[in-house]
């Protein structure tokens, strides 16, 4: 599970914008955002760099 959706909402960034900057299709980014598919660690780091955040902020923590 990832927090890409929450981070995009916090920053006011659209999935379309992220897809363009990441060089991926909207559908691929949407599948990451909806947690239907998990990005590779390299892509996760690319997303973090684009969003100017620590990659750890994109990872969901387990709820107890």
Is 62 among the domain residues?
A: no
Is 63 among the domain residues?
A: no
| Other C-beta atoms lying within 10 Å of the C-beta of residue 29 | 25
Q: How confident is the model at residue 60 (pLDDT cuts 50, 70, 90)?
A: confident
CA–CA gap between residue 54 and residue 20 (Å, rounded) = 20
pTM here is 0.90
pLDDT digit string (tens) for 5-36? Answer: 999 999 999 999 999 999 999 999 999 999 99
- Domain, as residue range, for 9: 4-55
Helices (H), 1-64: 4-11, 15-22, 26-33, 41-51
Q: How confident is the model at residue 63 (pLDDT cuts 50, 70, 90)?
A: low
We report the CATH number of the domain holding residue 36 as: 1.10.260.40
Query: Which distant-in-sequence residues (6+ apart) come within 8 Å of 44 by Cβ?
Result: 2, 55, 58, 59
Domains contained in the chain, number = 1
CA–CA gap between residue 64 and residue 58 (Å, rounded) = 19
Is 17 among the domain residues?
A: yes
């Amino acid at each position: 599970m990832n927090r890409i959706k929450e981070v995009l909402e916090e920053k006011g960034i659209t999935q379309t914008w992220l897809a363009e900057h990441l060089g991926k299709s909207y559908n691929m980014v949407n599948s990451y955002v909806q947690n239907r598919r998990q990005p590779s660690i390299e892509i996760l780091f690319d997303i973090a760099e684009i969003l100017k955040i620590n990659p750890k902020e994109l990872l969901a923590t387990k709820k107890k």
